[in-house]
Amino acid sequence: MNFIKKAGSIAAVLAITAAGSFAYAAPATYVSLDVNPSIEYAVNTFGRVLSVKAVNDDGEVITTELDVKNVNISKAVKVTIDKLREGGYITDDEDAGIVITISAKNDEKAEELAEELEEETKEYVEEIGETAEVEAEAVGKERVEEARTLGVTPGKLNLVQKLVKSTEGIEGAEEIDMEEWLDKSVKEINKAIKENRKQLKEAAKEVEDAVEEDEENVKTADEDEIENVIEDETQEAKIKNNNGNEKNKANNLKNNKNDDVEDIEDEETEEAEAKENEDESEAAPSNKTNNSSSNKKEKNN
């Protein structure tokens, strides 16, 4: 019984050890790094590098001198960057770039590792005084298989597809030859993407300026129309005011004429009254004589 118990314990330990050894030795994640050399790391569940392989000819130059087995992937990337600098692949250039992609069975872990590697690699690039733009992202299994079919890393494939997308909306843009651009460096692809985006921005600015000019013309036309309306209204008001003044003048003339007529009538009335008074004065002595004669007659009688 004791032997059976001991044997069981040993078997359990061996099983655990075997499981641990298998977990350590089995790739759980694949990480690719692109500058122009393209390199792929096989990483176990503990984040340790199991193997490194070159994806293109320039990658072969780097991997032959790269010893990062059993090293943490974050440290392995930094060591690789040092080798790339020594080989002149990373220079102080505004278009320089480092593209990292992560694929894993667990998408959540792939996203977490992408964020971790991007942050740590950016800090290291800044620390060593380089200006290379660092971008890390998680990719799915389908993208990995598509990239392997084309003989490139998922990161390089993603970058060239971004280049294709950057030409959309550019009038007369040349069609992107995928095979040709997949052989180019990250720096060259980045430069082409930036130029395309610049053209799109300039084209958008031209459209914006044209729209603003049209709006300004419409605004000016509206202002001119409003000004014309105001002028017309002002002119109408002036005409109306002039008509009112003319009417007032006519009324004044009419009133003056009526006053003149009244004055004439008053003068004529005065003249008539004066004449009547004069006639009455002339008739008065005759009446007096007649009265005297009548008195005499009465007396004689």
pLDDT value at 110 more than 80:
yes
pLDDT value at 164 more than 70:
yes
Q: CA angle 115-194-173, nearest 5°?
A: 125
State pLDDT tens for residues 1-45: 666 666 555 655 454 544 556 567 899 999 999 999 999 999 999
Higher pLDDT, 282 or 129: 129
pTM, to two decimals: 0.64
CA distances for 39 relative to 35, 81, 156, 230, angstroms: 9, 11, 11, 76
> What is the C-alpha to C-alpha distance for residues 74 and 121, in angstroms, rounded to an integer?
8
Higher pLDDT, 192 or 276: 192
Least confident of 105-109, 208-212, 237-241: 237-241
pLDDT score for 285: 53
State pLDDT tens for residues 246-299: 777 767 777 766 666 666 667 777 777 777 777 666 665 554 444 444 544 454
Burial of 297 per CB tally in 10 Å (0-12, 13-18, 19+): exposed
pLDDT value at 153 more than 60:
yes
Higher pLDDT, 219 or 286: 219
User: How remote is the C-alpha of 44 from its chain's centroid?
Assistant: 45
pLDDT value at 95 more than 50:
yes
Give the sheet arrangement for strand 38-44, strand by strand.
Answer: 49-54, 38-44, 27-34, 97-104, 133-138
pLDDT score for 274: 74
pLDDT value at 125 more than 50:
yes
DSSP state of 168: T
Please report the DSSP string for 95-158 in residue order.
Answer: T-EEEEEEEESSHHHHHHHHHHHHHHHHHHHHHTT---EEEEEE--HHHHHHHHHHTS-HHHHH
